[in-house]
Amino acid sequence: MTSTFAKSPAKPEARQQEWEFVGQAFNGCKRQPLSLKGPVVSLNISTTRHGFSQRLLDTVPTRTGWKMSVAASHRTVAADPLTTSETASADRPLPTAQRPQSAVPRGMQRYLALDDFETAARRRLPKMLYGFISGAAETDAALRDNRQAFVDFGFVPRVLMDVSNRNQTTTLFGKTYAAPFGIPPFGSAALCAYRGDIVLARAGAAMNVPMILSAASLIKLEDVKRENPSAWYQAYLAGDASRIEPLIDRVATAGYETFVVTVDVPVPANRENNIRTGFQVPLVITPRVAWDVVTHPQWLLGTWMRTLMSHGMPHFENMDATRGPPVLSKNLIRNIGNRDQLAWRHVELIRRRWKGKLVVKGLIAPQDARIARECGVDGVMVSNHGGRQLDCAVSPLRTLPEIAAEANGMTVMLDGGVRRGTDVLKALALGARFVFVGRPFLFAAVAEGEPGVRRALSLLKEEVDRDMALLGVRSIAEITPDLVRRLSPQTPYGRNAP
């Protein structure tokens, strides 16, 4: 590139120096002159490998409010004043352009989507624990359908809707949350991430989204409640009233306001991937498991050894009214009890004794939603347990509209397969009031602790905000079924095809 500078006659009345810059730039084989006229304060021109680009850093006089426009080849481009009320002054510092500073810590900027946390967590975790989190039952068909169901729907966006004042706050059971999604229960979260339940609880409180503590957690429910006063409690129950009632009393005494009963685990699932990777409950240290652990020192030292040294051997703290066995105990299976005896009469028992909000988690069939409503349940969570129980169980998204039709005032939530903001909006459009996002938030806790979970929550919240604008809605209430379309015909589940 060649450049020439020529000084034009000064205008005494303005007391300014007017300079003319003429640059010859080559864009491919085409020669294109560029001319700028005006009181230039500073002009920075750079060339690229394939042509000409200009970068106005201290630029054409910002202090006098000038602007620059680009014209076609062989035309003069002039810097025209927006105002002439102020003249350039050499005694004032030159304006400089600042690179926008990201509010995201440098270490978190590499995480651009929820799936990115899984990659980082996989490197840190022993194979047995990564398989425990990521795997599902038998062929993983239910797990795959959880994602495929979202792919089967597309959007019909509205335009010119003035979406400048978007708001995704959502009221659930009388409390207003910052976003329409939350953190579901994770069994053994503290075995995967150091103080995992505390990490998730703190992040949920900081971001103002609900967090559900699992009965299979390794940290006392009272300790978690102190970290997050709005946390919910989730129970795995045997069909035994003598064990159910004392547990309800303990949860109520701790100050929890929402009690979640998981009902899709009558027997342990056939998780072949756990057998292949060496994971089992209770934990058994075999030579293969020992090697797996030793070759992942970040987890060994940062999670397992740190837990032992600071808090002792982890126990299943919240299965019953009293402390459960340690994670290495051979009595663990016996302690779990006979969950295959759990029935709707036990839900009615809980409803009579529990004075707070009652949620049943693990429904897929619309008929079960109707029975739950008749039992006095406040809400249902449509879920196939992340594909971890019955292989080939359909995605909760597929029966969500039918369950929403049976709700009749009962709150309907969805858990399973949500990975993007678009997934959240699809679920809301098809009848969910709220959604819960599972594995990604636990992977975020493993990879980066509490800051990682906050980053994951922020990413999803930003996606929801952006997607609401692109969809043409300003509030969660405006997300309606007419905004989505099924991309392929499908016979409704639960009905016989002709």
- 158-204 confidence digits (pLDDT tens): 999 999 999 999 999 999 999 999 999 999 999 999 999 999 999 99
Q: CB under 8 Å to 271, separation ≥6 — which residues?
A: 135, 136, 137, 138, 388
**Number of Cα atoms under 13 Å in the Cβ half of residue 63:** 16
**For range 453-466, the mean pLDDT:** 98
Separation between Cα atoms, residue 463 and residue 469, nearest integer Å: 10
Q: What is the pLDDT of residue 404?
A: 98
pLDDT at 61: 43
Average pLDDT value for residue range 125-148: 97
Quote the pLDDT of residue 12.
45
pLDDT of residue 284: 85
For residue 104, name the pLDDT band (cuts at 50, 70, 90): confident
* 276 has a pLDDT exceeding 70: yes
Q: Model confidence over 210-228: pLDDT tens digits?
A: 999 999 999 999 999 999 9
Amino acid at the residue 114: L
**pLDDT interval class at 30 (50, 70, 90):** very low
* For residue 2, pLDDT beyond 50: no
Instruction: Give the pLDDT score at 1.
Output: 47
Q: In this predicted model, what pLDDT tens digit does every residue of 246-267 receive, in sequence order?
A: 999 999 999 999 999 999 999 9
User: Which pLDDT score, from 0 to 100, does residue 37 have?
Assistant: 45
CATH number of the structural domain 107-486 = 3.20.20.70
Give me the pLDDT at residue 285, please.
87
Rounded CA separation 455/434 (Å):
20
Q: pLDDT band at 103, cuts 50/70/90?
A: confident
The confidence band for 282, taking pLDDT boundaries of 50, 70 and 90, is confident
% residues pLDDT > 90 (the chain)? 72
Q: Give residue 148's pLDDT.
A: 97
| Active-site residue list | 385
Mean pLDDT of 455-471: 98
* Structural element, H or E, at residue 298: helix 297-299
Predicted confidence band of residue 95 (pLDDT cuts 50, 70, 90): low
Q: Report pLDDT for 16.
A: 42
pLDDT of residue 200: 98
Please give the mean pLDDT across all residues of the chain. Answer: 85
Mean pLDDT, rounded, for 422-436? 98
4: nearest Cα among 29, 42, 36: 36
Q: Where are the domains of the chain?
A: 2-81, 107-486
Return left, alpha or beta for 320; rule: phi > 0 is left, psi -120 to 50 is alpha, else beta. beta
pLDDT score for 28:
43
Q: Is the pLDDT of residue 309 over 80?
A: yes
Nearest to 461 by CA among 435, 491, 495: 435
End-to-end CA distance of the chain: 73
Helix (H) or strand (E) holding 5: strand 2-7
The per-residue pLDDT for range 317-359, each reduced to its tens digit, is 999 999 999 988 777 665 666 889 999 999 999 999 999 999 9
Q: What is the mean pLDDT of residues 88-112?
A: 73
Residue 99 confidence (pLDDT) = 63
The pLDDT score that the predictor gives to residue 229 is 97
Asked whether residue 410 carries a pLDDT value surpassing 60, the answer given is: yes
pLDDT number for residue 55 = 40
